[in-house]
Structure 1
């Protein structure tokens, strides 16, 4: 395989646009992090025609994948967690080329995990958690048990990722191994959901009750980023102003359900502003100051 990859990365390393090259090898009996490929080459470039593209190679009985990603797309993956394998690749991959210690600086930033980045990541996970929990509860109430089960599994997964981030770590692909060491209560809930011999409806009822408490306890950390943005302006915000704010657009379709959850838990208050229509009001949001 070395005969295959050496000319590939040497060609890329000679290009001035290349910031760094990492090699990730498949671990014994564990190919999830490399999508079953024997070797991944991750090339990070300053600018590219496309945010990222992939090439596949084969040599005898082995296969390799070349990922070329520009700096902007890589930072998006790392910040938003939309490509979870990349954090593992950057932290644990073998450095083949590192222009001006770019990869070393990237690793240092990931390990330090600045508070601003943690708050944003916790906010995104919290919004997804609220979405899954709320939708799952509706499915349970309407006896759509398999859909409720699917949503509560995802809700617990987002709760697990949120818990890992709270402790200052990046969630890994095998997040439950991390949670087992960090929060035994959440790990136990997950085990009870998937392994209990109780009827499914009983399992779900218990899980939603237990999850409600755990979710509520995460409101301060999960909403810190959103509330900090909303406090930047005196007075109330329209939903249009909130949704179009550059730092809040990453919440995407989960933003509204998160806002309504925070209203329900009295972290946000509603201000009604009259419209031209009789007895019709605009709905504005403002942060509630807690003592």
Structure 2
């Protein structure tokens, strides 16, 4: 990192809530990351307790150097790791150079994320399983409708989530180049990727083969991947409504996929459902509730 980039960051520039800053440089000869565009540098200013919980971006010039200044909160970084979002910002955070740090707080926080500790890992595992299930279900529906190109795309996305699950099970934090990460593991999912993309059989046959393997993996991994949700379902005597579950902060990262996962757990007998009568002005209806 150039001295000019080191020197521009201080508490006045970053803000009093900042715990430090990370500089990330585009590698020479590689294609530009989407986040960097045509900037050579990205400076990630990490805050603790930002009042405005949105990413703030500034385009700046220091001497002849054009760079992007991005302000983020610690909580947002952890949320992105759990949900698998904003992968380029997470990559910059994990692999950039710490250029400014207050009392080692930023280094300690990055070490916490890099260790991929159990609480973060369990939430990320549930999220990737939910996405895996969603894309598998979509691919199966499209295949049945003979929309094979769309089915191919969906099953390829399902395999990417499957690949991230395999990395998580190995204690590895999935990053943006997931196929490079799983290639060295000699994993099942990489073999399925080869079957899907490089095989002499017809497109439909390749899709059907991978869907069959995905169905088996979803079934075998369901209980361990959904341990957080199953533990919540069993945490009280009263059964849970879907509305109650969707309001829980522990499940906020997979709220969109929660109904699908719940129904799959019931179908596989890992969770149970019961009906509770609700009175309304137009009569009565029975609300489904879930428990283990």
With normalisation by structure 1, the TM-score equals 0.88
Cα deviation, 1:3-22, whole Å, max 9, x if unaligned, reads: 75345324756743321111
Shift of 1:282: 2.2
Preserved contact between residue 39 and residue 65 of structure 1 (Cα < 8 Å): yes
Preserved contact between residue 20 and residue 97 of structure 1 (Cα < 8 Å): yes
Residues 132 and 81 (structure 1 numbering): CA distance in 2 closer, same or farther, change over 3 Å? same
1:83 aligned to 2:83?
A: no
Preserved contact between residue 4 and residue 63 of structure 2 (Cα < 8 Å): no
Preserved contact between residue 275 and residue 282 of structure 1 (Cα < 8 Å): yes
1:39 aligned to 2:41?
A: yes
Residues 50 and 210 (structure 1 numbering): CA distance in 2 closer, same or farther, change over 3 Å? closer
Shift of 1:28: 3.0
Residues 272 and 48 (structure 1 numbering): CA distance in 2 closer, same or farther, change over 3 Å? closer
- 1:55 aligns with 58
Bigger fraction of residues in helix: 1
Report the Cα distance in structure 1 between the residues aligned to 2:33 and 2:194, rounded to whole angstroms: 22
Preserved contact between residue 134 and residue 257 of structure 2 (Cα < 8 Å): yes
1:160 aligned to 2:163?
A: yes
Tell me, what secondary structure is at the counterpart of 2:257?
Answer: helix
Count of aligned positions: 287
1:121 aligned to 2:137?
A: no
Preserved contact between residue 272 and residue 283 of structure 1 (Cα < 8 Å): yes
Residues 72 and 4 (structure 1 numbering): CA distance in 2 closer, same or farther, change over 3 Å? same
Report the Cα distance in structure 2 between the residues aligned to 1:275 and 1:34, rounded to whole angstroms: 50
Report the Cα distance in structure 2 between the residues aligned to 1:70 and 1:171, rounded to whole angstroms: 21
Give the RMSD, CA atoms, in angstroms: 2.6
Match for residue 286 of structure 1 among 275, 282, 291: 291
- 1:248 aligns with 251
Shift of 1:71: 3.0
| Aligned ranges 1:1-291 → 2 under 5 Å | 2=2, 5-10=5-10, 15-30=15-30, 31-32=32-33, 35-36=36-37, 37-46=39-48, 47=50, 49=52, 51-57=54-60, 63-275=66-278, 281-287=286-292
Tell me, what secondary structure is at the counterpart of 1:247?
Answer: helix
Unaligned stretches of 5+ in structure 1? none
Report the Cα distance in structure 1 between the residues aligned to 2:145 and 2:35, rounded to whole angstroms: 40
Residues 98 and 3 (structure 1 numbering): CA distance in 2 closer, same or farther, change over 3 Å? closer
Shift of 1:96: 0.7
More displaced 10-residue stretch of structure 1: 42-51 or 210-219? 42-51
Tell me, what secondary structure is at the counterpart of 2:226?
Answer: helix
Shift of 1:80: 2.3
Cα deviation, 1:44-95, whole Å, max 9, x if unaligned, reads: 1232545221122467986422111133323322332211123322222111
